[in-house]
Amino acid sequence: MNRGLFICLRGKDALRKPHQFVRYGSIRQYMKSKSENEIKRFIEENTEIVKGQSLTPEISLRLFTVKCRFWTERPEFWPFPDPFWAIYWPGGQALTRYLLNNPELSVGRRVLDLGCGCGASAIAAKLSGAAHVVANDIDPIAAIATKMNCELNGLEPLPCVTENLISSEPENWDLILLGDMFYDETLTDSLHKWLYKCVKLYRTQIFIGDPGRAQFESCDIKTLLYEQARFELPDSVREENYGLTSSTVWCYRPEY
């Protein structure tokens, strides 16, 4: 079977440098020529609504599956950057499960889901009673997919921002969520510096979900993390993620 785009995203080299068939500059150009409704239609036509095959069966998401055209279509015909938002990553799954299991972490709080992808963790924070949730992803298609996924779960679309927040001064968030964000060395370093500032300036609480990727295990931040919960991945998630068997939620607590 030719799993085209899917294999590019999840294969051995997945989550290193993005392969990006289309770069973010050109995606913004592309988006100018399409209405949001046209992009939504594209997402609807090229994803499947999935529920029950993850650590959070109570959340429905539009994802890329074997039934989608691009499972077999040549990946270079995909018109956007790599659709990380069309996969529910194991790090995000653990983080989202943890939030749903512990609603007190979200209740009444201001929450940022950084690198939201499909938006599952942001959705869980809102469903758990957060006062204000912002989803952030530098991929503008992820922002649209997140809004669609909010609606699937009976929520008003959450505010989604597409700026690269880690290159700007942090805001005063109570809680920042990062699901499967430690997959690239440069990104990991920038994230660490920015997260340190968030904690130092605002004592922001930070939770990270990661399935033990090599880039994560070897990064400096790892020594400042405290394990909160570990989840065994369902069989279907293991099969799709080449050898990963569990996913862990960590709290970042640097000394300052």
Residue 96: CB atoms within 10 Å: 31
Interface with ligand SAM in residues 37-76 (CB under 6 A): none
| 170 contacts ligand SAM (rule: CB under 6 A) | no
Residue 162: CB atoms within 10 Å: 17
Helical (H) or strand (E) element with 38: helix 36-46
* Of the candidate residues 111, 114, 145, 195, the single one contacting ligand SAM (CB under 6 A): 114
Tokens of 221: 């931040």
What's the CA gap between 36 and 197, in Å, rounded? 35
CB of 106 to ligand SAM, least distance (A): 16
Under 8 Å between Cβ of 5 and 83 = yes
CB of 50 to ligand SAM, least distance (A): 12
What's the CA gap between 229 and 221, in Å, rounded? 18
Give the interface segment with ligand SAM, choosing from 124-132, 137-145, 224-232, 245-253 (CB under 6 A).
Answer: 137-145
Spatial CB neighbours of 158, under 8 Å, sequence gap ≥ 6: 119, 122, 123, 126, 133, 134, 135, 146, 147, 150
Strands, E assignment, 175-224: 175-179, 205-210
| 250 contacts ligand SAM (rule: CB under 6 A) | no
- List the x/- string, 7-36, binding to ligand SAM by CB under 6 A: --------x---------------------
| 139 contacts ligand SAM (rule: CB under 6 A) | yes
| 136 contacts ligand SAM (rule: CB under 6 A) | yes
* Of the candidate residues 164, 172, 218, 245, the single one contacting ligand SAM (CB under 6 A): 164
Residue 192: CB atoms within 10 Å: 18
Given the complex with ligand SAM, which of 199 and 208 has the nearer CB atom?
208
Q: How many residues bind ligand SAM (CB under 6 A)?
A: 25
| 100 contacts ligand SAM (rule: CB under 6 A) | no
Under 8 Å between Cβ of 9 and 180 = no
Given the complex with ligand SAM, which of 164 and 172 has the nearer CB atom?
164
| 166 contacts ligand SAM (rule: CB under 6 A) | yes
Is 23 exposed, middle or buried (CB count within 10 Å of its CB: 0-12, 13-18, 19+)? Answer: exposed
8-state DSSP, 68: S
Given the complex with ligand SAM, which of 13 and 72 has the nearer CB atom?
13
Given the complex with ligand SAM, which of 68 and 177 has the nearer CB atom?
177
Give the interface segment with ligand SAM, choosing from 27-35, 66-74, 89-97, 212-220 (CB under 6 A).
Answer: 89-97
Tokens of 126: 């809102």
| 138 contacts ligand SAM (rule: CB under 6 A) | yes
> Which residues are at the interface with ligand SAM (CB under 6 A)?
15, 84-85, 88-89, 91-92, 114-118, 120, 136-139, 142, 164, 166, 179-181, 183, 187
